[in-house]
Amino acid sequence: MSTEPAFSGGQLLSHAVGFVRELRSEGMVVTPGQTTLFAQALAEVSIFDPQIFYHTARSTLVTRHEDYPKFEGAFWKFWQKLGLERFPGELLQPTPLPPHKEQKPRPGEVGREGKKSSQGQGPPVRVVDRALTYSEQEVLRQKRFDQMSEAELEAARRLLSGFEWRISERPTRRLRPAPAGSYLDLRRSFRQALRHQGEFLRLERRKRKTKPRPLVLIADVSGSMERYSRMLLHFLHAFALAQTRHGVRTVEAFVFGTRLTRITRSLKKRSVDAALAEVGRTVKDWSGGTRIGSSLHQFNRIWAKRVLGQGAVVLLISDGWDQGEPELLAFEMERLQKSCHRLIWLNPLLGTPGYQPLTRGLQAALPFTDDFLPVHNLASLEGLAKALESLSLRPATRRSGMAG
């Protein structure tokens, strides 16, 4: 039978929160979700063993390899500063409560204004302090998708649904009246002249109409992309709904592992959960192998002529791990590039420090890619949104290869 007293929270919890603040002062990023997880973990382990206590704190509060030295120094420095000889058991000893103080506003939520209402009898006005809220969002923007907790992923999904995605527009062949247009409008000019006894008082002008470019999303959902697939599907759904809000219905979406699957209709559902559930039922090769070349061959043969007209932009999302032949991938990438206005490859590994695209698949595909961008956190998605808004009217310079 164990002789250890039960964990009573209290003083130990307050020191645990203080330790998290110490880590933040050392430059580490520790979210409120990690702090809660640390506190919950202390109730499940034997806190009288310093080694177990140390590893519990490290496994719940450290998410980046480069933070381990900072954690090591801050851990012993903080607990030794408290002067505890039988660490951490002494923290469970009862201590007198501090004198009552007026409650401070909770960070990021509530404060109270000193003034009363005009009648002097109404309830105090609630004031919202958003300074810390902004800081948490800024941290969330920079955090990698594969390092987020479930609570952080849910917060990221809410932020993602509020993004305003706008794609650059292309000029069409149709003309519309415009005072400073480049084309002379003879028909309107003659009609105006007839109203003034045949005198041309002003020459009417026209310019070309513009429309948003069609967008085609092709995402890799193979096993190597499993950590990112669900978040990227949220991205596809949010993007498709944003285009629908702007009256644009020219977004096509496909996913692939070892075969190509069209999911455009599934993403038109307003509920993201219903849309992702239908995608899960439709896609048969989820988290399997990767054959990028054969999947692109299927796209070029069946779908390219249907969806790549009118200056379409293609977003290809993959980490580049391919089990197929690199020659086939290079050939199909060149065909795809020549069929669209812009071919953008989004790689979630590109945000990893020290990463280099050395896989056979990427070495074969990159010469036929117009842009190679990261897609590992919310900040990279914001960068993608800006890139889509500022696409040039002319396609990028392309090299000639096997697809001639």
The Cα–Cα gap between 380 and 348 comes to 9
Q: Is the pLDDT assigned to residue 119 strictly greater than 60?
A: no
Q: Among 263, 26, 231, 268, which Cα is nearest to 149's?
A: 231
- DSSP one-letter string for 220-286: E-SGGGHHHHHHHHHHHHHHHHHHHHTT---EEEEEESSSEEE-TTGGGSS-HHHHHHHHHHH-SST
- Helix 32-42 vs helix 50-61: angle between axes, to the nearest 10 degrees? 150
| pLDDT tens for each residue of 55-76 | 888 888 888 877 888 888 888 7
213-390 folds as: Rossmann fold (3.40.50)
Q: Is the pLDDT assigned to residue 51 strictly greater than 90?
A: no
The Cα–Cα gap between 31 and 388 comes to 31
Within 315-358, residue ranges assigned H as helices are 326-339
Instruction: Say which residue the tokens 């299927």 belong to.
Output: 298
Phi, psi angle pair for 261, to nearest 5°: -130, 130
- Helix 131-142 vs helix 378-389: angle between axes, to the nearest 10 degrees? 80
Amino acid letter at 23? L
Residue 375's SS3 state is coil
As a whole number, mean pLDDT of residues 171-183 equals 89
As a whole number, mean pLDDT of residues 126-135 equals 53
As a whole number, mean pLDDT of residues 183-187 equals 91
pLDDT band at 301 (very low <50, low <70, confident <90, very high): very high
- Helix 68-81 vs helix 50-61: angle between axes, to the nearest 10 degrees? 130
The Cα–Cα gap between 172 and 160 comes to 31
As a whole number, mean pLDDT of residues 34-42 equals 83
Q: Is the pLDDT assigned to residue 324 strictly greater than 80?
A: yes
The Cα–Cα gap between 98 and 32 comes to 25
pLDDT band at 189 (very low <50, low <70, confident <90, very high): very high
Q: Is the pLDDT assigned to residue 111 strictly greater than 50?
A: no
Q: The pTM is what?
A: 0.61
Give the pair of three-digit tokens for residue 134.
Answer: 């902004």
pLDDT band at 53 (very low <50, low <70, confident <90, very high): confident
Give me the numbers of helices (H) and strands (E) for the chain, helices first please. Answer: 14, 11
- Give the chain's end-to-end CA distance (angstroms, integer): 79
pLDDT band at 102 (very low <50, low <70, confident <90, very high): low
Give the pair of three-digit tokens for residue 12.
Answer: 């130990």
Instruction: Say which residue the tokens 């933070």 belong to.
Output: 67
- Tell me how crowded residue 4 is: count the other CB atoms within 10 A of its CB: 11
| pLDDT tens for each residue of 209-228 | 988 888 898 999 888 887 77
pLDDT score for 140: 79
Q: DSSP secondary-structure letter at 370?
A: S
The Cα–Cα gap between 220 and 229 comes to 8
| pLDDT tens for each residue of 367-396 | 999 999 998 888 888 888 888 888 888 777
| pLDDT tens for each residue of 82-99 | 665 555 555 545 445 455
Residue predicted with more confidence, 256 or 153: 256
Residue predicted with more confidence, 129 or 15: 15
- Tell me how crowded residue 333 is: count the other CB atoms within 10 A of its CB: 26
| pLDDT tens for each residue of 1-22 | 444 444 445 577 777 888 888 8
Residue predicted with more confidence, 234 or 194: 194
pLDDT band at 125 (very low <50, low <70, confident <90, very high): low
